[in-house]
Structure 1
């Protein structure tokens, strides 16, 4: 005999359980995965990060090993001992390229961390407060945008390098590199501030923000828990794009001889070996290729994030 169907069970089974709509980040990741350029950029960035983390374990020589010069093997062509050859100072090119990845990431991430903090604070205050505060802060940002950043960085690095001689600051490791990172961050924040201002202006009139105001939520919680998380996708795009720019800026500073002599960077490799381009091209092409791959990766990643979090593509 068939089991009788209980009406209550039929009614409960017919009720569809509502699915939770995907969040902003989940939707962005779904669109990002469909972007081939963005995924390629993510792969290149992941490769650079992996190299930076594993370089102490996979590098064939120490970063400051100049034993090849003692053997008369400076500017030696690639072979089984030195896979990418040696440079004019007797350094193993492959080792210096691997260790240069950590320096490049430190510069890019450090500079954009400083720029992000300054930009979000100034842009957020300008966008949420509005009025005269908005005007003054945006004029302040425009002042920084017209300053010849590169010239100022070169002058400050050179002056600071002279001032610290003979002081306790001279014993700080990679002091010049940290100075370059801070200077890059202090001059790269205006685009982030302008984007943060636009997002805060848009979001402060959103329904969920007005609802939070009606129930008496504090301004600090509104800014940090409601507006800022929804403004982050647009800001992350600028940060990813700025990382590649910061790496290029540090490369140019080091190429001109103003970099940190104690740090291993791709710009310094170009500085010491560009004159021997015809004699030992491997010493220049290798760090140049590393710079190209790293900057290309962050630029493609930024393009993919733009397509993923562009408000015009949201449904």
Structure 2
């Protein structure tokens, strides 16, 4: 018998998976890469804020020496606001709050949305119908008005109780409320993906080899349903940051938190006198939300290349 027959045949090269293919497409998307760079920069600035910021966020020494509302200088790179706070420092620390709100709210929304949408799509029938009507009920609620009312009411109720000593209680309330009202779009997308995938060949094959329902859901359907959900989450992070800023700008935010909305609320009346105190947090908000939107746009093209045709 010849050596050619005895020699083991080489295994065929494996085709790149969906995640690797998506990364290749994402790298060629200029808008997506710009968004990724912006988001990465914001995250790094938020993490390194204690080491980069020249002052602590609550330092009012500038007011004591009569340097409130001073324009940018060597001591204060972006000037000072009406309270004597260093604008550069408050802008850096505001990135921490913005990311905490965006990521926290969308984490809650993702868990609720994937759970409800996944059950609806995989079960079908009456369960699907009831869960989708439940999601539609949440979609017609005026979320912004509810958040303002609950935050104000909750702020009155906790006065004089042990909950008053919880740090950043109002901010945590806003995060939970945003998460509890932002899940319906994720649920609808999860339902559509689960409906599409439950009849796929690899799912039928998993049924045939005796895989449990839990294994099919967690190991086969959910990972393949994640790409479009990630796009929604990226968009939702920017939306949650913008929503918290609007709540804080109206005076319903957490007074103990350092946020861009608080900076806008305290300084918008002095726009003509000290515009730098408003323009800096406003520009930071614009760039951050733009970064997440561009990132979502790039992810959309990466996961759904046919949409570009």
Q: Structure 1 length normalisation: TM-score?
A: 0.95
Give 5+ residue unaligned stretches, structure 1.
Answer: 1-5
Instruction: Give the aligned partner of residue 3 of structure 2.
Output: 8
Range with bigger deviation, 304-313 or 249-258: 304-313
**In structure 2, distance between residues paired with 1:99 and 1:132:** 48
Who is 1:257 aligned against? 251
Name the counterpart of 2:53: 59
5+ residue gaps, structure 2: none
- Decide which of 277, 282, 289 is 1:288's aligned counterpart: 282
Runs of 4+ in 1 over 3 A off after TM superposition: 9-13, 311-314
**2: distance between equivalents of 1:164 and 1:37?**
45
C-alpha distance in 2, partners of 1:262/1:96?
Answer: 13
Alignment of 1:166-185 (within 5 A): 166-185=160-179
Partner of 1:113: 107
Alignment-derived partner of residue 85 in structure 2: 91
Q: Tell me what 2:20 maps to.
A: 26
Of 156, 161, 170, 1:162 maps to 156
Question: Where do 1:131-210 residues align within 5 Å?
Answer: 131-210=125-204
Q: CA deviation at 1:176?
A: 0.3
Cα distance in 1 for partners of 2:11, 2:191 equals 40
Instruction: Report the equivalent of 1:44.
Output: 38
Decide which of 247, 263, 266 is 2:260's aligned counterpart: 266
- Mapped to 1, the partners of 2:224 and 2:168 lie a distance apart of 37
Please give the TM-score of this superposition, normalised by the length of structure 2: 0.97
Q: Deviation per CA, 1:122-170, whole angstroms, max 9, x where unpaired? A: 0000000000111110000000000000000000000000000011111
Which residue of the partner structure matches residue 74 of structure 1? 68
CA RMSD of superposed structures (Å): 1.6
